[in-house]
Chain A
Amino acid sequence: MDYIFAGILKAFGLLFKGDPVTYAAVWTTVSVSSLSIFASLLMGIPLGFLLGRGRFPGKRTVRTMVDTLLSFPTVVIGLLVYALISRQGPLGEMGLLFTVPGMAIGQTILGLPIVVAVTATSVENLDRRLGQTLLTLGADSRQVLLSTIVEARYGLMLAAATAYGRIVSEVGISVMVGGNIKWHTRTITTAIALETGKGQFAMGIALGVVLMAIALLVNLGVGSLRRKVDQ
């Protein structure tokens, strides 16, 4: 057990001294995950609304597919994206392999079904009287849509927080698509796996602490936003 406590102590040392390798991994993680969650929300919220509120043939099948994608293994996503963006792949000429945007594509595929499914569920669970109330208060169709988004805000925040949690903690996509390149595509999770494999527990624990701090910050941010919106 001693090496764990020693690792924790050393972790704080690395963090407070501003260890460049640690902070490079933190920066890459924040960059990739921010890009991914932004893209996931941008596409996922409208699709979730469509799935939750819309009426179209095959809706149940689409819902089942989206729910199935929630448990899409990250290595399989990594494999698919690798196949797409590797030199032999259809998008090979774009030079996305082993880059931050390439990793973001994979993580967006990971986060998108979560945002769609949670948004659809929260929209489905909205009170049936909402639309009628908005109409009878004089809202036009655009105002009804915007107000419905506001009413579904807790669900949307949950979707964002859940998707971000999955994105920021994944390893498979980052390793396969990013290549775990030091200073460039090495994220917190891939660095933890690498450093632990090398027996460098201190670095692994330091990065683990940062990862948990990011998760805490995201949750605090969501909570603060929720309070602000309620006022």
Chain B
Amino acid sequence: MSGPICRIEQIRQEYSGKTVLDIDSLDIAKGGIVGLTGPNGSGKSTLLHILAFLEQPTQGNIFFQGQPCDAKTDGIRRKVSLLNQEPYLLKRSVGANVAYGLKVRGAPDISRRVDKALSLVGLNPDDFSSRAWYELSGGEAQRVALAARLVLEPELLLLDEPTASLDEESASLVKSASLKARERGMTLVVASHDMEWLKAVCDTTIDIVNGRLRER
């Protein structure tokens, strides 16, 4: 059995002297979908930012594929990607947004991969690829942002409230995209208040209350 893709130990995060996250130990199993639940301000987003190596914890260690890592670890951010609750789209076309991560990696076959990723989130590439970022609804923008992460096929994909601004149909498309991502071998951690959605998608669910974990 393979080890966890990510392990955090003795992680503590403080803002202005106040502890917002305090986790003794957490393993993220490889190839699964882990749900994160908890009330607003419980530390879910902070945990995702730490797992994405966008925030350096006040103390503690993160091990990625068994190796100790931090934000300075070479290439670590190309293995992990985060979709924020309110994603930001670059001031470019939809196609260019989805292609961005591939371009910075110098990846081949960009056009085909972009079309495939857009299809995966239920957006017709012929209709959407050349649209400008300002021509999208909130739900479409959310799905474009998700496509921009899925196209990279990161080893660990972190989703923060991916369905918060979506209608039922879009939420369902995000669900099927998440399941397909798992089929392709990606590991997902999804923070959400949508318990039904999480129940349908996740292998494990973890509660965070006041910055501390409560595993189910």
Residues of A in contact with B (beta carbons under 8 Å apart): 127, 129-130, 132-133, 135-140, 143, 147, 150-151, 153, 230-231
Judged by a CB distance under 8 angstroms, whether B104 is at the interface is yes
Q: B78 near A: Cβ within 8 Å?
A: yes
- Counting from the closest, the 4 A-B pairs by CB-CB distance are A129-B88, A137-B101, A138-B78, A133-B88
Closest to A231 in B: B93
- Picked from B52, B86, B105, the residue with its CB within 8 Å of the CB of A136 is B52
What does DSSP make chain B's interface, helix, strand, loop or mixed? mixed
Contact B90 A151 (CB under 8 A): yes
Chain A CB within 8 A of B91 CB: yes
The A-B contact count (CB < 8 A) is 56
Residues on A with beta carbons closer than 8 Å to the beta carbon of B104? 137-140, 143
Give the contacts of B44-88 with A (CB-CB under 8 A): 52, 54, 77-78, 80-84, 86-88
A129-B84, A140-B104, A230-B132 known; A135-B91 Cβ under 8 A: no
State the CA gap A153–B90 with chains docked (Å): 12
Interface hub of B86, B90, B132 (most chain A Cβ within 10 A): B90
The answer to the question of B121 belonging to the interface, with a C-beta cut-off of 8 Å to chain A, is no
Task: Give the interface centre of A133, A151, A153, A231 by most chain B CB atoms within 10 Å.
Answer: A133
A-chain residues with CB within 8 Å of residue B91 when the two chains form the complex: 150-151, 153, 230
A interface SS class: helix
Can you give 9 A-B contacts (C-beta < 8 A)? A133-B88, A135-B54, A136-B82, A137-B149, A138-B78, A138-B104, A138-B152, A139-B104, A147-B90
Please report the total number of B residues contacting A with Cβ < 8 Å. Answer: 24
Rounded to whole angstroms, the CA-CA distance of A27 and B130 in the bound complex is: 41
Q: Known pairs A138-B104, A138-B105, A139-B101; list 18 more (Cβ under 8 Å).
A: A129-B84, A129-B86, A132-B82, A132-B84, A133-B84, A133-B87, A133-B88, A133-B90, A136-B77, A136-B81, A136-B149, A137-B101, A137-B149, A138-B78, A140-B104, A147-B100, A150-B90, A230-B92
**Known contacts A136-B81, A137-B148: A127-B105 contact under CB 8 Å:** no
Nearest A residue to B71, CB-CB: A135
Complex: A132 Cα to B53 Cα, angstroms: 10
Q: Chain A nearest CB: distance from B13 CB in Å? A: 16
User: Hey, which chain B residues are within 8 Å of A130, CB to CB?
Assistant: 88, 90
Q: B206 to nearest A CB, angstroms?
A: 21
Contacts of A135 in B (CB 8 A): 54, 77
A138 to B151, CA, bound (A): 12
Q: Which residues of A contact B93 (CB under 8 A)?
A: 230-231
Contact of B77 among A127, A138, A231 (CB under 8 A): A138
Residue among A136, A139, A151 having the largest count of chain B Cβ atoms under 10 Å: A136
Give chain B residues whose Cβ lies under 8 Å from the Cβ of A139. Answer: 100-101, 104
Chain B residue contacts of A136, Cβ below 8 A: 52, 54, 77, 80-83, 149
In the complex, chain A residues whose CB is within 8 Å of the CB of B148: 137
